[in-house]
Amino acid sequence: MAKLSFITPKKKSLLDIESKILIVFLIIAATLIIGFSTFLFVKSYAKGSSSEDMSKQIAVMSKEIERYKYQARQIQELRLKADEVYTTNELLRESIKNLFDLVPDQITLTRSIMQKKRLVLYGVTPSKEVYNFMLLSPLKSIFHENKTTFYSLENGWYRFVSVNILHGETGVAQ
């Protein structure tokens, strides 16, 4: 503060009004750039973290998919097995139906064992001829090998055990 001057000095500014305006605009521009950069940085960071989460989720989902695929394969296998069983059962049912269709009224079956390539029949026949003509003939047309054993009963009938064997691929389910 000048004590001896007749006037008081005015405050000096380093910049004229044009420079001040220019600097204000530069500051605004710099602020916008910095703000936008910060926004982008934050966004990209958030994106990064979310992509990491997504990767983890993808990994989990992949495992889930693998598990489901495995389950699907198992189900498929089960289904195939079920189909196979169903088919076998169908075949078996057909075979049993055919078998029972084969058995004439005079012969009574007491027991039958159906294996894949073997059919064992237990029953009672009034006579060996009835058995041979009416049951053995159709069995022979189906099985490659037939063995029959007769046991005579007191009433003159015969208990028989017929073992029929198939060779090769074809056969019936148990």
Partner 1 sequence: MIKNWFKNLWPDSYIVFSQVPEGMNVTEYINSSGSVETVEEESFVLEDDRISTEMVEYVRDFLSAYPKTQLIYLTSAQSCSAVGTCSKAEMAQMDVDTSIIKTICKGEFSSYISTMDLENDNMLFKPLELDYIYSPFFLVDEVKSDYPGTALICLHRQNQLIISIYKEGKFIYGDHVVISALEEFEEDQEAGEEIEDDLDADFDLDELDDSDLDDLDDLDDIEEMEDEGMEDDLEEQIEEDDMEQDAELKEYDLKIYSAIKESIEKFYGDESVQSDFVEYMEILDTVALSRNIYELIKDEIFCEVDSRNIDLHREVLELMLKDT
Interacting residue ranges for partner 1, rule: CB under 8 A: 1-7, 9-10, 12-16
> How near is the Cβ of 14 to partner 1 at its closest, in Å?
5
d(CA 161, CA 57): 67
Contacts of 158 (CB under 8 A, 6+ apart): 124, 125, 126, 127, 128, 131, 150, 151, 152
CB of 29 to partner 1, least distance (A): 23
Which residue, 5 or 155, has its beta carbon nearer to partner 1? 5
Nearest distance, CB of residue 6 and partner 1, angstroms: 4
State how far the alpha carbon of 98 is from the alpha carbons of 21, 111, 138, 150, 160, in Å. 107, 16, 10, 23, 20
Joined together, the tokens standing for residue 20 give 């001040």
> Coil, strand or helix: which one is 147?
strand
Give 10 or 111: the residue with its C-beta nearer to partner 1: 10
Residue nearer to partner 1 on the CB measure, 15 or 58: 15
Beta partners for residue 36, in sequence order: none
Q: Please, which residue, 9 or 168, has the CB nearer to partner 1?
A: 9
> Shortest gap between Cβ of 27 and partner 1 (angstroms)?
17
How far, in Å, CA of 52 to CA of 44, rounded?
Answer: 12
Min CB(17)–partner 1 separation in Å: 12
4 or 154: whose CB is closer to partner 1? 4
